[in-house]
Amino acid sequence: MYKLKRTRKTRKIYRRKNIKRAGGQLPSTPGVVVKLPPFSSLENIYKNPKTNLNQKGGLLPRGYVGPTWGTLHLSNFTITDQILADFRRLSTRPYMDCVISALQIIGILDTFTANVLRITKIGTHGIDSNEIELIFSLRTNQRFLFMPTNNIDEFIQYIRTHLQPGNVSFCGVTYMNGQSHVFLIGRDTDGNIIKIDPSVPDPYCFLETDHECFRIFSQNTRQYWLLFNYTGNLTQYESYALGILTDPTFIPTPPVYQPPEQGVEQEVEMDVT
């Protein structure tokens, strides 16, 4: 009679590491480049051209800073009173269209396109922060970062210091319940800071002098968001890595690896400019 041997099965457990997302805080000093974790090169795009293609936000690592990007500064957008007067919503559906409205006022979306988006599921499900960054990158061919701070004083100080008269800044808040909202903050020619939000009954209010406006703005708010952009342009490889094409004919070609001859050392060079 044979004695059965019991074998103990072991299973490898892979624990997911909590990696801190780069670019998650406003620059500590106004006008200074945000120090993000360095990323050596874009060679992983070539080594694994099919890897991560389905990930939201593309292949470009959040911490990568391109050599031609220049400095990071608060994004300023010029608008006029006529633009605000011409703002129109042509859809009666219930929507989460705060991003669409802000893009419409800035001029990235025209009235017809904005209302088409309101009719679709985009208008009822909203647009997330990664998608916001890519929309602006597609328009300007620059790298944008939508970054939060927990300090309302820091948020206001950035606007006071870096928002030019006659311009608006793309802003947002995250509430204690986890929901987020986007709006614009502008500065008039007299230097007054004005909150512009077509989603509420009173779309314009003076943020610093109107106490009720400030109370509603800061009540139950966990984070305050500002949009920044680098002054330099993206290269074709970098824009492709983000998931956008500045040149529709551009197709990145992985380098062809040729095995070195026996006994001869050989290096493979990659052009990632």
Q: Residue 173 half-sphere exposure, CB side, CA atoms within 13 Å?
A: 20
Mean of pLDDT values over 10-31: 43
pLDDT, tens only, 159-193: 988 999 999 999 999 999 888 999 999 998 888 99
Q: How far is CA 33 from CA 27, 129, 145, in A?
A: 7, 20, 12
The C-alpha angle 234, 235, 238, rounded to 5 degrees, equals 80
- Look-up: residue for tokens 């106490």? 211
Dump pLDDT digits (tens) for 51-91.
Answer: 333 334 455 777 778 888 888 889 999 988 888 888 888 87
pLDDT in tens, 204-226: 999 888 888 888 888 888 899 99
Global model pTM greater than 0.75: no
For the chain, list the domains and their CATH numbers: 75-242 (3.90.70)
Digit-coded pLDDT (tens) for 108-151? 999 999 999 888 888 778 888 889 999 999 999 999 999 888 88
| Counts for the chain of helices (H) and strands (E), in that order | 9, 8
Asked if residues 105 and 184 have their Cβ atoms less than 8 Å apart, the reply is: yes
- At residue 35, the pLDDT reads 38
